[in-house]
Amino acid sequence: MQNNGQNLNRFYLALVTIVFLGLIFRLVQLQLYNREKYYTESERNRIRDVIVDAPRGLILDRSGIVLVDNRPTYSISVIPYEFLRSKGTSRLLALILNIDEKVLVKKVKKKKIGNFSPVRVKRNVDFKTVSDIEENLFDLVGVYYHIDSKRFYPSEVKAPHLFGYLGEITSDEITKFRRTGENYRRGDFVGKNGLEVKYEKFLRGEDGVKYIEVDVLGREVRELSELSGSEPKTGKDIYLTIDANIQKYLEDVMVDKKGAAVVLDPRNGDVLAFLSKPDYDPEIFSNPLTPDIWNKLVNHEQKPLYNRASQSLYPPGSTYKIVVAAAGLETDTINLTETVLCTGSYRLGRRPFACWKEEGHGEMNLLNAIQQSCNVYFYHKGLDVGLKNWTDFSHYFGFGSKIGLDFPNESAGLIPNAEYFDQKYGEGKWTRGLILNLSVGQGDLLTTPLQMAYFAMIIGNEGAAYRPHFIKRLVEPGTGKVERFQPNKITITQIQEETYKVLKEGMYLVVNGPKGTGRASWIKGFDVCGKTGTAQNPHGDSHAWFIGFAPKDNPEIALCIMLENGGGGGANAAPIAGGVLRTYLKNKEVVVAQR
């Protein structure tokens, strides 16, 4: 028995010794061999890096008027590891934010990319909500509030189709940006449309980082200023070519209309104004966008999200007669002395094609026909020119292809040719009546208001064109470093100078002649040249057009006004063009006086 007791004692002694040796070994392992590893882990639990979002660059007009700015706003974020393991936290936060707890938890789980990477759960919260968070911070484990920024529009210019809007980044967008070496995170806001998306890489700054100390429950104790973080770097400011005064005039005068307007500087391609109506309040996208608000915008019968200036396609009506005139002069199928008798209609086979003036215009030469927009003259000459020449000269002027505006969502338009008609109607089964329609800007022909303004610039410059663009210069805040954009000049070589002189004379008579259809755009001493158009629309009232430039020699401004279902171009579009030109001259006088 005594031996058994001694053996048992020895066993327990050995067991205790082994346990203590194991503990000593583990202690040595933790304190010496794994010290760096666990010290780092403990510091990670105590010290948290917080990303400081960089403000986006401002958007200003050509004279420095701020059009798009940033405004501070509060956001609520959570640390998933701490937030999800505390049932009371999710319940209390859901109550404060007035959202369903299950929805809140699901959102955090869906957006989290790591246990300690913050997830933004609500943006643009009011001060009362922030106060409630602050009062209950002890019970809100892993919850904190911080200052974000949102876009706001301090000037009277809204231009939502031009500026675009911001939205939360998607997984596909993160993947796309990473391919180009750009580092975006879930929860970031990026440009979704307009200039915001086109110039995202300039407007977006570089985020900074700061370090904060937290307690065992994940609550912020203090900011660790002794640790070197990095300050956020603001995005570049973009100075647009836009003239805020002209843009504002157009927004006011077309407030209840449908249509578009594009105003260019023919000397360099600067876009002075770019308008699409109807539109929407850009502030909508600066606040949380609910599915209900989005569905109303998308499904609205007026299509306010659709950009009619560079995306929508319309038959240009009589404004396109200038293309027929150019093709005829260059192919010697039109001369200045030959006349055509207009009796009010032109008959092809058994079908009459009407002129807009029922009683007819009488004997018309080219300049008379342009001035009074005689359909019958251009029916005759359209057939003489022929479809092939009409198509070729349309392409010379840039129709049927994208101009290359530094802007998303540009349509190419449609210039039908023989192959197109063969496919649509069958080879040899279409008639010359289609050419008559094309000769007066109707039928299958489709253009954008942007293309028509570009066309007006080409005529005014007698073949010299500049690719339209929105950016004047980029300025880096802090350093003041400036990057300027140089105009891209294109020369239309297929049309002779003499032809341009004739076209400009005809367009001068449209506005200044005694029977001109565009006299409502006349301005004393400015030699306005233009062309009106009234395009028939099978779905409703006709579209009203006006294109033009001024002055006649060395033009300073070119434009296109298009009113969807707006009626007559001379009666409705031309007066708006006149208002644009008067606004331009008023601005010019102010600038000269300031100098």
Convert the pLDDT of each residue in 129-185 to its tens digit.
999 998 898 888 888 888 888 899 999 999 999 999 998 888 888 888 888 878 888
| Amino acid 186: pLDDT | 79
Angle between helices 244-253 and 574-594 (to 10 degrees): 150
Least confident of 173-177, 331-335, 431-435, 488-492: 173-177
Distance CA 446, CA 463 (A): 22
Residue 270 has pLDDT above 50, yes or no: yes
Q: Write the pLDDT tens digit of every residue in 38-91.
A: 445 444 556 767 777 889 999 999 999 999 999 989 989 888 888 888 778 889
Residue 61 in contact with residue 68, Cβ under 8 Å? no
| Amino acid 5: pLDDT | 64
- Give, in words, the CATH class of 244-594: alpha beta
Is 166 buried (19+), middle (13-18) or exposed (0-12) by CB count in 10 A?
Answer: buried
Mind giving me the DSSP string for 304-354?
TTS-TTTT--B--GGGGHHHHHHHHHHTTS--SS--EEESSEEEETTEEEE
Question: What is the SS3 assignment for 563?
Answer: strand
| Residue with the larger pLDDT of the pair 572 and 222 | 572
Mean residue pLDDT of the chain comes to 89
Per mean pLDDT, which of 230-234, 294-298, 348-352, 411-415 is the most reliable? Answer: 411-415
| Amino acid 170: pLDDT | 85
Nearest by Cα to 161 from 237, 261, 57: 261
Cβ atoms < 10 Å from Cβ of 50: 16
| Amino acid 523: pLDDT | 96
| Residue with the larger pLDDT of the pair 293 and 229 | 293
Residue 358 has pLDDT above 80, yes or no: yes
User: What phi and psi, each to the nearest 5 degrees, are found at residue 347?
Assistant: -105, 125
Distance CA 384, CA 333 (A): 6
Would you state the structure tokens that stand for residue 269, as one six-digit string?
């391609």
